[in-house]
Structure 1
Amino acid sequence: MTNNHKAIIEDGKAVLGIELGSTRIKCCLIDESKTPFISGEFEWQNQLVDGIWTYAINDIWEGLQKSYADLVQNVQMTYQVPLRNLKALGISAMMHGYLVFDEGDQLLVPFRTWRNCISSEAANYLTKEFNYNIPERWSIAHFYQAVLNNETHVSNVAFMTTLSGYIHWQLTGKKVLGVGDASGMFPINDQTHNYDEKMLSRMDELLAEKNLSNKIEAILPKVLLAGELGGYLTEEGAKRLDTLGQLEAGIPLCPPEGDAGTGMVATNTISQKQGNVSAGTSIFAMFVLEQALKNVYPEIDIVTTPDGSMVAMVHGNNCSTDINNWIRIFDEFAKLMGYEVTKEELYEKLFTHSLNAAPDAGGLLNYGYYSGEPLSGVIDGRPLMLFHPNADFNLANFMQSHLFSSFSVLSLGMNILTTKEKVAIDKVFAHGGLFKTEAIAQKALATVLDKPVSVMNTAGEGGAWGIALLADYLTYAEQGMTLPEYLAKFVFEALEEKVITVGKNEREGYLAYFEQYQQALPLAQQASRYI
């Protein structure tokens, strides 16, 4: 396919998806078969500055430019051609968070990411006022918390957006947002596919009570559905993305989306009774609803698919960070002993060794809370490893406890969906870096969810591929094709999936682990007070 891909690049028929994840910024080109064929990436990390998890604006642009430059270099080395034009382009990034600007487009406060647990007062109050769950991560919770805190910047807020919306705005000049990402800013009405008018009105009243003249709808980005044009790459935007100055302006962009929405696209789980689990720095399970939930639950967010269907979301702030840090320790030990092994080999060996663990992880408990975890009532992150002196402390159980810990927070919300709300779930697809080692994390997740879990061979591609598909979909939407039709016909018809179902023994072992997990949870909740 090398010559064919060279021609696709030269003819400007490739589609580019860019996702700014928590630990990696990835650029991905797809061809006419919708298959990723070359990529570029840049690793980065958020910083805890003055108690706020953030990414500096300069770091955002440096990372984005370096990721794109890596893609351009790989294209040049592989195909000996420059990357000048594209069929379409899409931007995805972590959902939620708080980016606010004044009328002069100046950033008012450092970016507050989804990882911050600093808006519980506002989130709880708005949840009661709206009778609609408003998580701490949501942009409106951050904004209203700033109001309650009497932060001086709030009266100057002229525009509020997410990370994907910010990048898209800088590339196109358009202050728009895909409905999936917008649903993590402010509640979306399931009939109009726009911000809920009654809640907008109530929000304006709450602001007026604080002597603020801000009108919330005026500062939110315009909501767009998948398939609607998000704008075109401007000359300035092209230069800002491509520091070499080779990329041409005029490329159409799809609406910017959050990582939850692109994850649904990348797993083809945007139809009813389907769900997916995305595992990275955070973890979230998404299930497309047949009907609205009967009650409001703090454990369950209501968001949307990129084409506007309502979704129940169970979100955990912490997932793979603890495992990744332990892998670094094992890597350091291996090098200390004179062994040269790759990170990939370490993950494979250690994950595979977890198959030798006891079903309940031998009495070992792990709480990988590097940041606060609202679902567990943990305000500040303090990772903990707990075990009884009689526990079976060995490497297999150690790894199994970490795998269980990565997924256990989902149980807190899943139990509500399946038992109280009787949500029908036919399929669960998993994706993210944890699933690159075949079958291991997939088995642990199936044990936690008590559902068959499928993984496709594209599980590691993630949101960069998902947003590239949404960008490619622009052409098909013009022809009247729905997003599910596009994905079924052109993307997933021939993709293979591997399904794992666990037995009674594994499930009972996990339930024993989770019972201990819940019993000892107060220790994790108290830890931040003493350390």
Structure 2
Amino acid sequence: MDKRMKTLGFLGIDIGTQGLSVIFTNSELKILVSGEGSYEMVPGLDPECYEQQPSDWESALKNAMANLRKKMSSLQIDMEVLAIGISGQMHGEVLATEDGELVGPARLWCDGRNEIEGEELTERLGVKCPKRMTAVRWLWTIRNQPEKARLVRHITTPAGWIAYRLTGSWLLGIGDAAGMFPIDQKTLTYNDTMLDEFDLMANDLPKESIVKNTLSKLRDLLPSVKKAGEDGGVLDSHGAEFLGLPEGVPVAPAEGDQPAALAGSLIAAPGQVSMSFGTSVVANSVGDRAFEGIALPIDHFCAPDGRPINMVWLRNGTTAMNMVINLFGGDFSAIMPQVLAAEDNCGGLLALPFMDDEPGLGVSQGGTAMVIGLNEKTATPGNAVKAMLLATVFNLRIGSNQLDEQGYPRTEIVLSGGLVKTPELGQLVADAFNTPVTIFEGGDEGTAWGATLMAKFRYESSAGRTTDWKTFLEAQQTGSPTRFSPHAKAVQTLNSVFDRYQKLVNMHGQLESVT
């Protein structure tokens, strides 16, 4: 006799840089079970070149679903999926033909081949177009791989590709779309005037170019933009067979990992900031108005409902901290208590985390990660690891200071990502920013859980049971959040350390000359 209990709920899929995860929640969005799959970069590429095979994402999704089903079986859970949400690493360039056949591997957000194109587009369009923006990558492809560009009829992101493979539709959430090309806040779709300007630039090629004046217009290549709650497609026969689910299950518009992290942090109001620590680190601030001008450390995209977001993004995330942990034996669980016990000023140590370049801070090359101030007394695992983590936090603060100068509110920081597996580190962030910090239950699965939130909003919207995205999020808090208030003495100490850190960053040009 089958004793398994039928459970209604939502499936979340997250395509990360280093692996893929799936989660299944009940109808109240409590995470019941998860599954994982892994993949690698394409090997043998030149430095600063990062590519993955989209087929590897699909294999990882297969494996993650098998892993999830195995766990469900042991728990005697029989899932019935009401809707599916998808999130993924932003800014990738996935190229396909008219028939949906891939045109080579996907270039990822961390691929550094197109800095010149980013600078040119920023100047031409009058808005910041970072080198990782998908349109910037596409301009590079046109110029450097014309034999590939001539075949392309669709451009999308990792999340958009998985959504296409499951639904057969070229659609994308507005947040992920904003990482492909600038969004017009009046129309909440791609900026039409800027699309025309891009096409002019793209066709400014030598006469002998095989793609000159034959390229498809960018607006015809990009996926259609959808906001949270709108139709993101449904599982077609291929998608249903792939996931082992019925045809017709609704899919929320596929979103980027940053909009999904915002959703997973239940953030929608101006003044709220989502900070996610992982391979890269970001602080996403909900804006109460458009940002003025171009600021080197600050990028701009959209929340799932289209609200403007100001993002301070760091390529150098927790990788340098993990490197230091490995130097001290690699036992994370043994070293973290020492980090928590270390003095606020790390015994006087300062660190730089720049294993790679950091465009937003004007750091043009990596290889300068270091810890200074070491002596017999200060050279402890706790001090060194904490100093390296603080360096990453301080880099976020440097970028965020430019938002402070324009008077943007910052009332609450919500942490997500791998760092919250040691939730006590939330106090360090609260003290460094002099701002209250909140960690919600399930914060270490922030993007995948955010995907399930978008799935539920899609399901409720289709049934006519929702109002707006902000109101929906306010009603979704589960469990008991962990909160940290700034400690005045620690704030004062860290302000002094921050002043020293800024002086060290300002010397980076000298370090580059000897690296």
Same fold (TM over 0.5): yes
Q: Which amino acid aligns with 1:177?
A: L
> CA–CA distance in 1 between the matches of 2:143 and 2:395?
29
Task: Identify the residue that residue 427 of structure 2 maps to in structure 1.
Answer: 443
Task: Identify the residue that residue 321 of structure 2 maps to in structure 1.
Answer: 323
SS at match of 2:102: coil
Deviation at 1:187, TM superposition (A): 0.5
Gaps of 5+ in 1: 333-345
Q: Which amino acid aligns with 2:395?
A: V
Task: Identify the residue that residue 444 of structure 2 maps to in structure 1.
Answer: 460
- State which of 45, 51, 55 in structure 2 corresponds to 1:54: 51
> CA–CA distance in 2 between the matches of 1:318 and 1:330?
20
Structure 1 stretch displaced more, 473-482 or 227-236 = 473-482
Q: Deviations over 1:175-233 (max 9, x none)?
A: 01000100100001111110011111111221232334330100000000100111111
* 1:230 equivalent in alignment to 2:232: yes
Deviation at 1:64, TM superposition (A): 1.5
Native 8 Å contact 2:284 2:311 kept in 1 = yes
The residue correspondences of 1:298-337 to structure 2 (distance < 5 A) are 298-331=296-329
- State which of 342, 347, 357 in structure 1 corresponds to 2:332: 347
Task: Identify the residue that residue 402 of structure 2 maps to in structure 1.
Answer: 416
Structure 1 stretch displaced more, 221-230 or 380-389 = 380-389
Task: Identify the residue that residue 167 of structure 2 maps to in structure 1.
Answer: 172
* 1:475 equivalent in alignment to 2:473: no
Task: Identify the residue that residue 379 of structure 2 maps to in structure 1.
Answer: 393
Task: Identify the residue that residue 410 of structure 2 maps to in structure 1.
Answer: 425
- State which of 62, 71, 94 in structure 2 corresponds to 1:65: 62
- State which of 20, 26, 36 in structure 2 corresponds to 1:25: 20
TM-score (norm 2): 0.91
> CA–CA distance in 2 between the matches of 1:484 and 1:263?
15
> CA–CA distance in 2 between the matches of 1:80 and 1:429?
32
Task: Identify the residue that residue 358 of structure 2 maps to in structure 1.
Answer: 373
SS at match of 1:231: coil
Native 8 Å contact 2:268 2:473 kept in 1 = no
Q: Which amino acid aligns with 2:246?
A: E
Q: Deviations over 1:382-427 (max 9, x none)?
A: 2522314558322221121122023222122101001x21101222
Native 8 Å contact 2:174 2:225 kept in 1 = yes
SS at match of 2:50: strand
> CA–CA distance in 2 between the matches of 1:223 and 1:265?
18
SS at match of 1:447: helix
Task: Identify the residue that residue 285 of structure 2 maps to in structure 1.
Answer: 287
Task: Identify the residue that residue 208 of structure 2 maps to in structure 1.
Answer: none
Native 8 Å contact 1:257 1:306 kept in 2 = yes
Deviation at 1:72, TM superposition (A): 1.0
SS at match of 1:462: helix
> CA–CA distance in 1 between the matches of 2:321 and 2:93?
28
Gaps of 5+ in 2: 206-211
Task: Identify the residue that residue 339 of structure 1 maps to in structure 2.
Answer: none
Task: Identify the residue that residue 255 of structure 2 maps to in structure 1.
Answer: 257
Q: Which amino acid aligns with 2:236?
A: T
Native 8 Å contact 1:178 1:255 kept in 2 = yes
Deviation at 1:488, TM superposition (A): 1.8
- CA RMSD, 1 decimal: 2.4
Classify 1:387/1:331 alpha carbon distance in 2 versus 1 (closer, same or farther; 3 Å).
closer
- State which of 237, 246, 249 in structure 2 corresponds to 1:248: 246
SS at match of 1:132: coil
Native 8 Å contact 1:97 1:139 kept in 2 = yes
> CA–CA distance in 1 between the matches of 2:21 and 2:10?
14
The residue correspondences of 1:152-167 to structure 2 (distance < 5 A) are 152-167=147-162
The residue correspondences of 1:103-114 to structure 2 (distance < 5 A) are 103-114=98-109
Q: Which amino acid aligns with 1:59?
A: D
Deviation at 1:148, TM superposition (A): 4.2
Deviation at 1:6, TM superposition (A): 2.2
> CA–CA distance in 2 between the matches of 1:529 and 1:117?
20
SS at match of 1:25: strand
Task: Identify the residue that residue 277 of structure 1 maps to in structure 2.
Answer: 275
Q: Which amino acid aligns with 1:176?
A: L
Classify 1:468/1:389 alpha carbon distance in 2 versus 1 (closer, same or farther; 3 Å).
closer
Classify 1:347/1:162 alpha carbon distance in 2 versus 1 (closer, same or farther; 3 Å).
same
> CA–CA distance in 1 between the matches of 2:146 and 2:342?
51
> CA–CA distance in 1 between the matches of 2:235 and 2:111?
32
> CA–CA distance in 1 between the matches of 2:54 and 2:151?
19
Task: Identify the residue that residue 341 of structure 1 maps to in structure 2.
Answer: none
Task: Identify the residue that residue 94 of structure 1 maps to in structure 2.
Answer: 89
The residue correspondences of 1:511-530 to structure 2 (distance < 5 A) are 511-521=495-505
Task: Identify the residue that residue 338 of structure 1 maps to in structure 2.
Answer: none
Classify 1:31/1:417 alpha carbon distance in 2 versus 1 (closer, same or farther; 3 Å).
same
Q: Which amino acid aligns with 1:347?
A: F
Q: Which amino acid aligns with 2:153?
A: A
> CA–CA distance in 2 between the matches of 1:412 and 1:144?
30
> CA–CA distance in 1 between the matches of 2:149 and 2:512?
30
SS at match of 1:252: coil
Aligned length: 502
